[in-house]
Amino acid sequence: MSIATEVVRKHPGNPIITFRDVPWPCTMAYNPGCVRTAHGRYALAFRADEFPESMINAGQREKLGVVPARDYYQTIAMAFSDDGVDFDIHPAPVLKPLPDEEGRVYDPRLTTIEGVHYMTYATDPERGIMNGIARSTDLLTWERVHRTLPDNRNAVLFPEKVNGLFVRLDRPFARQYVVRRGFDMWIGYSPDLEFWGRHKLVLHHDDIPWGAIKVGPATPPLRTDEGWLALFHGVQKREPDEYGWQLTYRAGVMLLDLEDPSRIIGICPDPIMEPTEEYENVGFRSTVLFPGALIPEADGTVKIYYGAADQSVALATANIDDLLDLCGVRAHA
């Protein structure tokens, strides 16, 4: 474990949301996005999966009590909280798959831009993985506004326009059985959230030793005086576990230039979050930790909401100044 991981403190009550909390059939509840509303409430979207017997492992059944679903189906749930810890889940999914999404919408990220809430999400029909964008004014009713070509994954929107344009980070993602290489983080710009261009490579997988398989965005960036602060994910191969899973997901932190967010001006060389806890290792996938939201607080800290073991939602906290220090760009008096 690196010194960088000491900056992040995992909540002692983790996980804060599990499949048991979801008021409809659910086998996994994880990979959250979150925003604060104008009234100060926390609104958290998360992936609510229904996986059949063939997709549930023995650890989920025997250690967690997961009951397999009848069919394979994925939706996005919404939960609300006054304190950011105890959440009440809306009684029905807020985003369901369209017919051409073949039962699959997942991995939401939330961003509020000029008073409108936006959700990026992924869908994975047989023709390929795509990123989608939907918008809402009430966080419950969503209008789809964009969907990428295959194959793309893990999109996050910046919380404000940069030089008059919307900005998105994503991770183009060719299916590994077609192209065997690592995957990288890219940036793109749009005047209207529908037409995207000016794509540029931001972070190459070879630049991150602990992300040699994949690197990509994790949390929507947070504006600071020093730059855009964001967490990213890195994926490394390891020996397979008892169910054949052989990837470890960690989180890092980087700082992007305020006027040219394609330019990294600071980055921590080591991961700041690693899957060390039982709830991060017992679930659908072991050794998986994936942040999806970085929420600033009045006391200078941030809440980090993340998916654990592809099974549940967990919470961590950190000081913004500590995260900026890890990026190595702050001037000290």
C-alpha span between 317 and 319 (Å, rounded): 7
Residue 263, domain CATH: 2.115.10.20
In a domain, 332, yes or no: no
Domain span holding position 68: 3-327
Which pTM value belongs to this model?
0.97
- Position 332 scores a pLDDT of 45
CB 303 within 8 A of CB 297: yes
Q: Give CA angle at 247 (244, 253), nearest 5°.
A: 160
The answer to whether the Cα torsion of 114, 35, 69, 237 is positive or negative is: positive
Amino acid residing at 57: N
Half-sphere exposure of 219 (CA within 13 A, CB side): 30
Half-sphere exposure of 129 (CA within 13 A, CB side): 16
In a domain, 311, yes or no: yes
C-alpha span between 123 and 320 (Å, rounded): 32
Q: How many domains does the chain have?
A: 1
In a domain, 303, yes or no: yes
In a domain, 211, yes or no: yes
DSSP symbols for 134-161: EEESSSSS-EEEEEPPSSEEEEEE-SS-
3-state secondary structure of 173: coil
Specify the residue for token string 């086998």: 27
In a domain, 333, yes or no: no
In a domain, 31, yes or no: yes
- Position 333 scores a pLDDT of 36
Could you tell me the two tokens for 172? 């183009």
In a domain, 229, yes or no: yes
Specify the residue for token string 């994910």: 233
In a domain, 151, yes or no: yes
Q: What is the mean pLDDT of each run of 10 residues along the chain (333 residues)?
A: 87 98 98 97 98 97 97 97 98 97 97 98 93 98 97 96 98 68 94 98 96 96 98 97 97 98 98 98 98 98 98 98 92 44
Q: Give CA angle at 259 (253, 262), nearest 5°.
A: 50
